[in-house]
């Protein structure tokens, strides 16, 4: 007697269910890491913009022989900073980066940091002024960027106007000490 053997191609229901379960576990493991990486990249981008704007503020002060101010502002939806020339408290900004200046003041740049981005900007001073003759800054300040996961990046501006950066961002940024 001859038996017929049927060849089947495809997957059984059990194989499909096991594949879905394995995919689900791998996705659950990868998502938190991906979210942290996205926030780290956002923090790095905002931090590089801040550092660049601080350097440009000092250079503008020296080349134009006029003081340049950097104001740090907390809003209901985040924070921002604005770089400008003019009297104290003459410019403001919001967490979307929109700038408003009074007559006699001119904004050079601004950056908004909305809470919804997962990054917070804080500073231990409300305003810093780069002197137009010497490039020095008063008062000195530390700006801190922090993610929801607790990663930090700091920019410390010395009295000479030089900026030292440190933090948890890797990419040639040393870790903060003490």
Residue 7 has a pLDDT of 61
pLDDT (0 to 100) of residue 5: 61
Residues of the chain with pLDDT below 70 are 1-8, 27-33, 170-171, 178
Residue-wise DSSP of 110-159 = EEEEEGGGTEEEEESSSEEEE-TTT--EES-EEEEEEETT--EEEEEE-T
Q: What is the pLDDT of residue 21?
A: 79
| Res 4: pLDDT | 57
* Calpha distance 44→152 (Å, rounded): 10
The predicted structure's pLDDT at residue 25: 74
pLDDT of residue 93: 92
Q: What is the pLDDT of residue 64?
A: 95
Whats the size of the chain, residue-wise? 178
What pLDDT, on a 0 to 100 scale, did the predictor assign at position 8? Answer: 62
Q: Phi and psi (nearest 5°) for 67?
A: -65, 145
């Amino acid at each position: 007697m001859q038996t017929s053997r049927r060849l089947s191609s495809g997957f059984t229901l059990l194989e499909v269910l096991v594949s879905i379960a394995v995919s689900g576990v791998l996705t659950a493991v990868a998502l938190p890491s991906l979210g942290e990486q996205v926030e780290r990249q956002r923090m790095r981008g905002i931090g590089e913009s801040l550092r660049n704007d601080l350097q440009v503020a000092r250079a503008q002060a020296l080349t134009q022989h006029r003081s340049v101010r950097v104001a740090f502002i907390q809003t209901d939806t985040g924070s921002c900073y604005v770089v400008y020339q003019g009297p104290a408290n003459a410019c403001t900004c919001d967490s979307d980066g929109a700038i408003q200046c009074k007559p006699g003041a001119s904004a050079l740049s601004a950056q908004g940091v909305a809470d919804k981005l997962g990054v917070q900007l804080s500073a231990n001073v409300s305003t810093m002024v780069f002197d137009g003759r010497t490039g020095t800054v008063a008062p000195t300040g530390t700006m801190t960027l922090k993610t929801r996961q607790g990663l930090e990046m700091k920019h410390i501006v010395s009295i000479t106007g030089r900026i030292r950066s440190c933090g948890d961002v890797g990419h040639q940024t040393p870790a903060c000490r003490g």
